[in-house]
């Protein structure tokens, strides 16, 4: 269960679960009991696999979750993922022994997943099922409030994910596309003389100073 996983996991950033060792406590953080209509209050205790009224509501968190997220972004080294969702796409699409990339025919964006899937299936005379919720990149609202995430934190995320932006030719978010922050990559050679793309600055070298809006890559 979610609670059992939290209690037993030797988490490298355990403050993320502070005061939230059960799913109910986590749900209360983004869906406080006082906003739940009376007719749904008895169904408040839930699990991630058993949706209730709170599941599809926009977050009502007070900044606690966003603050934990921002702290994590600045403490995470960018190269030691402890959860599958932290893996960057380029390493996952590369040979783990040689670093050579796998053949990729097309790259699509999660923000337009439905339209992109429609383009794929239409080539083969097929249509998408009407009720397949797995086609959406995200089927429920975020639990932290992204409006509370600072621009400095967003730029730090861009720097951590620089290799994906470079290799997959993703357009940088507006917050990272400018002179205030340098998100770029370099082309060098490995020991055998083969060319490779590297982040211009390793995540360990990225400044973690949060006092200003500029993050110096050196």
| Tens-digit pLDDT profile for residues 158-216 | 888 888 888 887 888 888 876 667 777 777 777 788 776 666 554 444 444 443 333 33
Residue tagged 């400044």 (tokens): 207
Q: 105-145: per-residue pLDDT in tens?
A: 777 777 777 788 888 888 888 887 776 555 555 667 889 99
Check residue 23 and give its pLDDT. Answer: 84
d(CA 118, CA 120): 5
Predicted local confidence at residue 42, as pLDDT: 79
Higher-scoring residue by pLDDT: 99, 119: 119
**185 φ/ψ angles, rounded to the nearest 5 degrees:** -130, 165
- Asked if 144 contacts 61 with a C-beta cutoff of 8 angstroms, the reply is yes
What distance in Å separates the CA atoms of residue 70 and residue 134, rounded to the nearest whole number?
A: 28
Q: Give residue 150's pLDDT band: very low, low, confident or very high (50, 70, 90).
A: very high
Distances (CA, A) of 59 to 87, 125, 147: 25, 40, 11
- Tokens encoding 22: 């059960």
| pLDDT of 49 | 74
């Amino acid at each position: 269960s979610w609670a059992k996983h939290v209690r037993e996991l030797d988490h490298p950033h355990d403050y993320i679960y502070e005061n939230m060792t059960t799913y109910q406590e986590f749900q209360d953080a983004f869906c406080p009991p006082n906003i739940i209509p009376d007719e749904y209050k008895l169904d408040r205790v839930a699990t991630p696999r058993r949706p209730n009224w709170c599941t599809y509501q926009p977050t009502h968190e007070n900044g606690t979750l966003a603050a934990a997220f921002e702290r994590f972004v600045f403490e995470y080294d960018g190269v030691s993922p402890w959860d599958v969702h932290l893996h960057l796409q380029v390493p996952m699409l590369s040979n783990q022994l040689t670093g050579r990339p796998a053949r990729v025919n097309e790259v699509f964006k999660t923000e337009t997943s439905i339209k992109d899937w429609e383009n794929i299936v239409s080539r083969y005379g097929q249509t998408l099922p009407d009720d397949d919720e797995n086609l959406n990149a995200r089927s429920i609202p975020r639990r932290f409030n992204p409006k509370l995430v600072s621009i400095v934190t967003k730029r730090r995320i861009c720097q951590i994910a620089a290799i994906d932006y470079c290799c997959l030719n993703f357009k940088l978010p507006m917050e990272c596309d400018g002179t205030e922050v340098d998100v770029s990559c370099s082309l060098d050679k490995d020991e055998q003389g083969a060319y490779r793309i590297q982040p211009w600055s390793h995540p360990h070298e990225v400044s973690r100073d949060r006092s200003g809006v500029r993050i110096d890559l050196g």
